[in-house]
Amino acid sequence: MTVLERLLEAKIVAIFRGDYGGNWLAYAEALRDNGVLVMEITLNSPGALAGIRQLMSTMGDSVLVGAGTVLTPDAVDAAADAGATFIVAPDTDEGVIAATLNRGLVPIPGAYTATEIKRAFNYGAPLVKLFPATAPEYIKAIRAPLNHIPLMATGGVDVSNAADFLRAGASALGVGGSLLSPALRPDQVGQRAADLIDAIQGRQRA
Protein backbone atom coordinates (compact mmCIF):
# COMPACT_ATOMS: atom_id res chain seq x y z
CA MET A 1 0.00 0.00 0.00
CA THR A 2 1.38 3.42 -0.93
CA VAL A 3 1.72 6.35 1.46
CA LEU A 4 -1.25 8.06 -0.19
CA GLU A 5 -3.39 4.92 0.03
CA ARG A 6 -2.53 4.49 3.71
CA LEU A 7 -3.34 8.13 4.42
CA LEU A 8 -6.70 7.98 2.66
CA GLU A 9 -7.56 4.74 4.42
CA ALA A 10 -6.66 6.21 7.82
CA LYS A 11 -8.82 9.33 7.25
CA ILE A 12 -7.33 11.23 10.21
CA VAL A 13 -4.07 13.21 10.20
CA ALA A 14 -3.13 14.35 13.71
CA ILE A 15 -1.31 17.70 13.62
CA PHE A 16 1.46 18.37 16.14
CA ARG A 17 1.86 22.14 16.49
CA GLY A 18 3.60 23.81 19.42
CA ASP A 19 6.33 23.05 21.91
CA TYR A 20 6.21 19.43 23.03
CA GLY A 21 9.57 19.69 24.79
CA GLY A 22 10.89 16.82 22.73
CA ASN A 23 8.27 14.49 24.21
CA TRP A 24 6.91 13.46 20.82
CA LEU A 25 6.90 9.73 21.39
CA ALA A 26 4.48 9.59 24.32
CA TYR A 27 1.88 11.56 22.38
CA ALA A 28 2.44 9.61 19.17
CA GLU A 29 2.03 6.31 21.00
CA ALA A 30 -1.19 7.55 22.61
CA LEU A 31 -2.53 8.44 19.16
CA ARG A 32 -1.45 5.16 17.57
CA ASP A 33 -2.78 3.01 20.40
CA ASN A 34 -6.19 4.63 19.98
CA GLY A 35 -6.42 4.29 16.23
CA VAL A 36 -4.86 7.47 14.79
CA LEU A 37 -2.03 6.26 12.56
CA VAL A 38 -1.03 9.34 10.54
CA MET A 39 0.79 12.27 12.14
CA GLU A 40 2.07 15.61 10.89
CA ILE A 41 4.67 17.64 12.78
CA THR A 42 4.62 21.28 11.72
CA LEU A 43 8.04 22.73 10.99
CA ASN A 44 7.29 25.88 13.00
CA SER A 45 7.19 23.72 16.13
CA PRO A 46 10.40 23.68 18.24
CA GLY A 47 12.46 20.58 17.47
CA ALA A 48 10.18 19.50 14.63
CA LEU A 49 12.85 17.78 12.52
CA ALA A 50 14.19 15.93 15.54
CA GLY A 51 10.62 14.87 16.31
CA ILE A 52 10.14 13.46 12.81
CA ARG A 53 13.41 11.55 13.12
CA GLN A 54 12.44 10.19 16.53
CA LEU A 55 9.03 8.92 15.44
CA MET A 56 10.37 7.41 12.23
CA SER A 57 13.20 5.61 14.04
CA THR A 58 11.14 4.30 16.95
CA MET A 59 7.68 3.63 15.50
CA GLY A 60 8.67 2.25 12.13
CA ASP A 61 5.89 1.31 9.73
CA SER A 62 3.19 1.35 12.42
CA VAL A 63 2.48 5.01 11.63
CA LEU A 64 2.95 7.53 8.83
CA VAL A 65 4.84 10.68 9.75
CA GLY A 66 4.85 13.83 7.65
CA ALA A 67 5.95 17.44 7.91
CA GLY A 68 3.55 20.38 7.99
CA THR A 69 3.82 24.13 7.44
CA VAL A 70 6.45 23.46 4.77
CA LEU A 71 6.97 26.76 2.96
CA THR A 72 10.10 26.37 0.81
CA PRO A 73 11.88 23.73 -1.31
CA ASP A 74 14.76 23.79 1.18
CA ALA A 75 12.31 22.93 3.95
CA VAL A 76 11.05 20.03 1.83
CA ASP A 77 14.60 18.68 1.61
CA ALA A 78 15.14 19.07 5.36
CA ALA A 79 11.88 17.23 6.11
CA ALA A 80 12.69 14.50 3.61
CA ASP A 81 16.15 14.04 5.12
CA ALA A 82 14.51 13.68 8.54
CA GLY A 83 12.32 10.87 7.20
CA ALA A 84 8.99 12.55 6.48
CA THR A 85 6.79 10.60 4.07
CA PHE A 86 4.42 13.42 3.11
CA ILE A 87 4.64 17.21 2.95
CA VAL A 88 1.79 19.54 3.97
CA ALA A 89 1.67 23.28 3.27
CA PRO A 90 -0.86 25.99 4.09
CA ASP A 91 -0.65 27.32 0.53
CA THR A 92 -0.11 26.22 -3.07
CA ASP A 93 3.51 26.78 -4.05
CA GLU A 94 4.61 25.18 -7.31
CA GLY A 95 8.23 25.01 -6.15
CA VAL A 96 7.33 23.22 -2.94
CA ILE A 97 5.15 20.72 -4.78
CA ALA A 98 7.87 20.06 -7.38
CA ALA A 99 10.51 19.59 -4.67
CA THR A 100 8.24 17.16 -2.84
CA LEU A 101 7.61 15.10 -5.94
CA ASN A 102 11.33 15.13 -6.74
CA ARG A 103 12.01 13.56 -3.34
CA GLY A 104 9.37 10.89 -3.95
CA LEU A 105 7.06 12.19 -1.23
CA VAL A 106 3.35 13.00 -1.25
CA PRO A 107 2.60 16.75 -1.53
CA ILE A 108 -0.53 18.05 0.19
CA PRO A 109 -0.69 21.79 -0.55
CA GLY A 110 -3.27 24.09 0.98
CA ALA A 111 -5.98 25.76 -1.08
CA TYR A 112 -9.46 27.17 -0.58
CA THR A 113 -11.09 28.44 -3.76
CA ALA A 114 -11.94 26.36 -6.81
CA THR A 115 -9.13 28.08 -8.74
CA GLU A 116 -6.56 27.32 -6.03
CA ILE A 117 -7.67 23.71 -5.64
CA LYS A 118 -7.53 23.05 -9.37
CA ARG A 119 -4.11 24.70 -9.64
CA ALA A 120 -2.71 22.58 -6.80
CA PHE A 121 -4.01 19.41 -8.41
CA ASN A 122 -2.63 20.38 -11.82
CA TYR A 123 0.80 20.99 -10.27
CA GLY A 124 0.80 17.31 -9.28
CA ALA A 125 -0.73 17.15 -5.81
CA PRO A 126 -2.80 13.96 -5.46
CA LEU A 127 -4.53 15.34 -2.35
CA VAL A 128 -5.29 19.00 -1.61
CA LYS A 129 -5.68 20.43 1.88
CA LEU A 130 -8.85 22.51 2.02
CA PHE A 131 -7.81 25.21 4.47
CA PRO A 132 -9.47 26.59 6.43
CA ALA A 133 -12.31 24.08 6.44
CA THR A 134 -15.07 26.42 7.54
CA ALA A 135 -18.06 24.08 7.17
CA PRO A 136 -18.99 20.69 5.69
CA GLU A 137 -21.40 22.48 3.35
CA TYR A 138 -18.48 24.18 1.62
CA ILE A 139 -16.83 20.81 0.95
CA LYS A 140 -20.05 19.58 -0.62
CA ALA A 141 -20.37 22.70 -2.77
CA ILE A 142 -16.75 22.76 -3.97
CA ARG A 143 -16.76 19.07 -4.81
CA ALA A 144 -19.78 19.41 -7.08
CA PRO A 145 -17.61 20.70 -9.95
CA LEU A 146 -14.30 19.25 -8.66
CA ASN A 147 -15.26 15.77 -7.53
CA HIS A 148 -12.15 14.29 -9.16
CA ILE A 149 -9.87 16.08 -6.68
CA PRO A 150 -9.48 14.47 -3.23
CA LEU A 151 -9.64 16.99 -0.39
CA MET A 152 -8.30 16.93 3.17
CA ALA A 153 -10.38 19.26 5.34
CA THR A 154 -8.16 21.06 7.86
CA GLY A 155 -8.79 23.86 10.33
CA GLY A 156 -12.03 23.75 12.27
CA VAL A 157 -12.42 19.95 12.35
CA ASP A 158 -13.31 18.37 15.69
CA VAL A 159 -15.18 15.40 17.11
CA SER A 160 -18.55 17.11 16.66
CA ASN A 161 -18.25 17.65 12.91
CA ALA A 162 -15.64 15.16 11.65
CA ALA A 163 -18.21 12.68 10.37
CA ASP A 164 -20.11 15.53 8.68
CA PHE A 165 -16.99 16.58 6.77
CA LEU A 166 -16.48 13.02 5.55
CA ARG A 167 -20.12 12.66 4.54
CA ALA A 168 -19.85 15.95 2.64
CA GLY A 169 -17.06 14.47 0.53
CA ALA A 170 -13.76 15.05 2.31
CA SER A 171 -11.32 12.21 1.67
CA ALA A 172 -9.33 12.89 4.85
CA LEU A 173 -9.26 15.23 7.84
CA GLY A 174 -6.41 17.19 9.36
CA VAL A 175 -7.11 17.63 13.06
CA GLY A 176 -5.00 19.86 15.27
CA GLY A 177 -5.85 21.62 18.52
CA SER A 178 -9.11 19.82 19.18
CA LEU A 179 -7.19 16.53 19.25
CA LEU A 180 -3.62 17.29 20.14
CA SER A 181 -1.94 20.01 22.19
CA PRO A 182 1.10 20.33 24.47
CA ALA A 183 -1.36 21.53 27.12
CA LEU A 184 -2.89 18.04 27.22
CA ARG A 185 -1.44 14.90 28.78
CA PRO A 186 -0.79 11.94 26.47
CA ASP A 187 -3.63 9.98 28.08
CA GLN A 188 -6.02 12.85 27.36
CA VAL A 189 -4.88 12.89 23.76
CA GLY A 190 -5.44 9.16 23.60
CA GLN A 191 -9.01 9.58 24.84
CA ARG A 192 -9.68 12.30 22.28
CA ALA A 193 -8.24 10.10 19.54
CA ALA A 194 -10.51 7.22 20.54
CA ASP A 195 -13.54 9.53 20.61
CA LEU A 196 -12.66 10.92 17.18
CA ILE A 197 -12.26 7.47 15.64
CA ASP A 198 -15.58 6.41 17.12
CA ALA A 199 -17.25 9.54 15.76
CA ILE A 200 -16.12 8.94 12.17
CA GLN A 201 -17.09 5.31 12.42
CA GLY A 202 -20.58 6.26 13.56
CA ARG A 203 -20.29 4.93 17.06
CA GLN A 204 -20.71 6.60 20.41
CA ARG A 205 -18.60 5.61 23.39
CA ALA A 206 -20.45 4.30 26.41
- What 3-state DSSP class applies to 149? coil
Domains of the chain: 3-200 (3.20.20.70)
The pLDDT of residue 206: 44
Is the distance from CB of 14 to CB of 157 less than 8 angstroms? Answer: no
Is the distance from CB of 175 to CB of 157 less than 8 angstroms? Answer: yes
Tell me the catalytic residues.
40, 129
Q: In what order do the strands lie in the sheet with 110-111?
A: 106-108, 86-88, 64-68, 38-42, 12-16, 172-175, 151-154, 128-130, 110-111
Residues recorded for the chain: 206
The DSSP symbol for 61 reads G
Q: How far is it, in rounded angstroms, from Cα 139 to Cα 59?
A: 33
pTM of this structure: 0.96
pLDDT (tens, 9 = 90+) of the chain, 206 residues, equals: 999 999 999 999 999 999 999 999 999 999 999 999 999 999 999 999 999 999 999 998 999 999 999 999 999 999 999 999 999 999 999 999 999 999 999 999 999 999 999 999 999 999 999 999 989 999 999 999 999 999 999 999 999 999 999 999 999 999 999 999 999 999 999 999 999 999 999 854 44
